[in-house]
Amino acid sequence: MSRTVVLVDAVRTPFGKAGSMYSGTRADDLMVRAMRGLLERNPKVNPGDIEDVAIAAATQTGDQGMNLGRSASLLAGLPNTVPGYSVDRWCAGALTATTSLAGAIAIGSIDIAIAGGVEHMGNHPIGDGLDPNPRFLAERIVEQDALAMGATAERLHDRFPQLTKERADRYAYNSQMKTAAAYAAGKIQRDLIPTAARIPEMGWGIATVDEPPRPTTTMEGLSTLKTPFRAAGRVTPGNSSGLNDGATAALLASEDKAKELGLTIKAKLVSYAFAGVEPEVMGFGPVPSTIKALAKAGLKISDIGAFEVNEAFAVQVIAFLDHFGIADDDPRVNPYGGAIAVGHPLASSGIRLMLNLARSFEEHTDVRYGLTTMCIGLGMGGTVIWENPHFTGGSK
């Protein structure tokens, strides 16, 4: 019999630009800091009672290799009785770590666990060490564009001409402005774990805020940026997420265990789904995964009152919104901004979406359901639907 799975808490390190403020910091140390910060915020949890740890990375080599779930757990000081494993579903790594552990909790195999994700894109650039099978292209299993995420975003513009560059730039501008407003109100900092950072030229420091946001962004400035993926294209560094370093961690439990220990409950997992699309239009993945997750939950898109959509590319977000008849500037969507502003350290981002959604649930007790969703390389999407434990009544 299935049990209710809850999100107890989630945190993250500040995100850095790839190879910048974390240039002298190991990826596994970023993950350890996030895990330690999560446990420090939840002293009612005995580390020895954690029954599994799943940590994601998209590039599982070097300081992101050696089974991060186990190695980071030992480095973080968890007892050696706590097992762990690593996860790879590219950008949806942390989201998949969460759903994998949630499945184990739901069937009663475990009661409490830690999910996480890390990506040090400074140490591990996209594609570093990959060796795609030549059959992919030789046998036309995928087109060349499928292996370059920016090119798949250009193909979304091709497929949906109404998704203009101006709309993408406007969405990106709004993401920067929402992030700046959230920072000014102290809404983002509260879930950031201060993290030691060593820059070889400057020595040690403490990172307390995200490095990537550009609050001085203007529409005029966005309109003049180059289009690196296609001549006269529409995808630019301004309407895309950057290359980033950072880690996230989440504490999951059965609802009964959370109540037994007196833990906070920030969200209740309702359903989740992953789906595939043509790899050449990777960014459309959140549409079918959301349709599947809604069907499994017995809900409609109109039942969702809060959305956290990963902003790998602005066009990918507005393609999702267009499909479901949601305005580009709908206030229910990414109210604290998104990855275009704060960054997208690949496998870590799914939990950033979860912690933002949990904060939206606290602010909007009239919202009953929310979702976290993201696109995934080689043509996939992942969606998790959550219920607001603070819901006091209302239409959604």
Q: Mind telling me the catalytic residues?
A: 91, 344, 375
Instruction: Please compute Rg for the chain using Cα positions.
Output: 20
Determine the Cα–Cα distance for residues 39 and 10; give it in Å rounded to an integer. Answer: 10
Q: Helix (H, G, I), strand (E, B), or coil: what is residue 337?
A: coil
Q: How many helices (H) and strands (E) does the chain have?
A: 12, 12
Helices (H), the chain: 27-40, 68-75, 93-106, 135-138, 149-159, 165-184, 219-223, 255-261, 286-297, 314-323, 339-342, 349-363
Q: Angle 314-323/149-159 helices, nearest 10 degrees?
A: 40
Determine the Cα–Cα distance for residues 118 and 246; give it in Å rounded to an integer. Answer: 6
Determine the Cα–Cα distance for residues 243 and 183; give it in Å rounded to an integer. Answer: 21
Checking 193-196 for CB contacts under 8 A at 24+ apart, the result is: 193/11, 193/12, 193/13, 193/33, 193/34, 193/36, 193/37, 193/38, 194/14, 195/13, 195/14, 195/25, 195/30, 195/33, 196/25, 196/33
Bridge partner residues of 271 (DSSP): 385
Tell me which amino acid residue 236 is: T
Bridge partner residues of 203 (DSSP): 199
Contacts of 352 (CB under 8 A, 6+ apart): 12, 94, 248, 339, 342
Contacts of 1 (CB under 8 A, 6+ apart): none
Q: Which of 372, 305, 364, 379 is nearest to 338 (CA)?
A: 372
Is-contact 245 16, C-beta < 8 A? yes
Is-contact 101 251, C-beta < 8 A? no
